[in-house]
């Protein structure tokens, strides 16, 4: 069974996804590609490598990255206070999940949202989330009044990942010493998680969850290239190298 060890950088990816989404930027990061193309162009002026060939080489290097997805983010904004989440998000189903808004039903001093004004809370029992497409990771920011247990299950309802909160209480005002609200807790299982259950108090009303991130497994899977694709890619690479070599002046 997967031991729930956090995947390096996933918290940062979720944070970046939230920031990029707020600016309408879609991943993969085309700015990184642009920087690389510019770097290759600069090198072309000093090493006599053809600029067009450099751009083609950059595309060869970056286009395979398109099969890697970024985390999808649910921030629960836009819902009215008291809304029960079920299937409002495409491909995601909730149970025992109720939206609370700061200044209305949510005590934002004890349970400050990680972003915006809305969080989701466990209403009447453990909160469950099911995915129509399996995910390789799941994470969110939790503020809680009791110890939390997160469990991830596969399509056969077998537990494949688990994690627990660091403290028994991390509320903003009454949390235990050393704790702080919005603790990031994560599950990972590369073969796919189809549902997640978050258990606090069995009667519910024990935690606030915000900025949930997860990555559909299809977006993380690199398909094995076909023979035709390898031949095609090899041909482009060969032509690119040939063009670059032709652009290099011969030694006198």
Is 164 within 8 Å of 146 (Cβ atoms)?
A: no
The larger pLDDT score, comparing residue 70 to residue 130, is at 130
| 91-126 per-position pLDDT tens digit | 999 999 999 999 999 999 999 999 999 999 999 999
Burial class (CB in 10 A: 0-12, 13-18, 19+), 2: middle
Dist. CA 137–CA 13, nearest whole Å:
12
| pLDDT value, residue 71 | 73
| pLDDT value, residue 114 | 97
The larger pLDDT score, comparing residue 227 to residue 191, is at 191
Domain at 72-217: CATH code: 2.60.120.200
| pLDDT value, residue 217 | 85
209-232 mean pLDDT = 67
Q: Both tokens of residue 247? A: 């652009």
**Does residue 148 carry a pLDDT above 60?**
yes
Instruction: Mean pLDDT check: name the lowest of 154-158, 164-168, 207-211, 247-251.
Output: 247-251
| 37-95 per-position pLDDT tens digit | 445 445 444 444 344 444 444 443 444 433 435 679 999 999 999 999 999 999 999 99
Strand 149-153 relative to strand 183-199: parallel, antiparallel, unpaired? Answer: antiparallel
The predicted model scores a pTM of: 0.64
Nearest Cα neighbor of 214 from 157, 134, 110, 118 is 134
Instruction: Mean pLDDT check: name the lowest of 27-36, 144-153, 223-232.
Output: 27-36
Dist. CA 52–CA 41, nearest whole Å:
8
Asked if omega into 54 is within 30° of 0 (cis), the reply is no
| pLDDT value, residue 19 | 59
Dist. CA 245–CA 105, nearest whole Å:
68
Give the whole-number percent of the chain exceeding pLDDT 70: 58
Number of H helices, E strands in the chain: 5, 9
In the predicted model, what is the mean pLDDT of the chain?
A: 76
Give the whole-number percent of the chain exceeding pLDDT 90: 58
Each domain of the chain, given as residue ranges in start order, spans 28-68+222-246, 72-217
227: left (phi over 0), alpha (psi -120 to 50) or beta: alpha
| pLDDT value, residue 28 | 40
């Amino acid at each position: 069974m997967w031991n729930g060890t956090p995947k390096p950088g996933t918290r940062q990816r979720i944070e970046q996804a939230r920031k990029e989404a707020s600016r309408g930027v879609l991943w993969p990061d085309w700015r990184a590609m642009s920087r690389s193309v510019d770097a290759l162009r600069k090198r072309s002026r000093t090493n006599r490598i053809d600029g067009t060939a450099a751009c083609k080489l950059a595309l060869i290097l970056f286009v395979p990255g398109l099969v890697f997805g970024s985390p999808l983010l649910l921030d629960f904004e836009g819902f009215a206070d008291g809304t029960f989440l079920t299937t409002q998000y495409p491909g995601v189903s909730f149970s025992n999940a109720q939206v609370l808004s700061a200044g209305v039903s949510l005590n934002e001093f004890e349970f400050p949202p990680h972003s915006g004004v809305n969080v989701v809370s466990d209403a009447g029992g453990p909160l469950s989330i099911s995915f129509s497409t399996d995910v390789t990771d799941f994470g969110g920011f939790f503020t809680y009044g009791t110890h939390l247990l997160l469990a991830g299950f596969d399509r056969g309802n077998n537990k494949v990942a688990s994690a627990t909160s660091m403290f028994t209480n991390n509320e903003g005002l009454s949390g235990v010493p050393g704790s702080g609200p919005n603790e990031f807790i994560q599950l990972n299982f590369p073969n796919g998680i189809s549902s997640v259950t978050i258990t606090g108090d069995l009667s519910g009303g024990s935690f606030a969850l915000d900025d949930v991130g997860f990555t559909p497994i299809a977006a993380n899977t690199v398909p094995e290239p076909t023979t035709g694709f390898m031949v095609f890619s090899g041909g482009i690479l060969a032509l690119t190298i040939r063009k670059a070599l032709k652009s290099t002046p011969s030694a006198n």
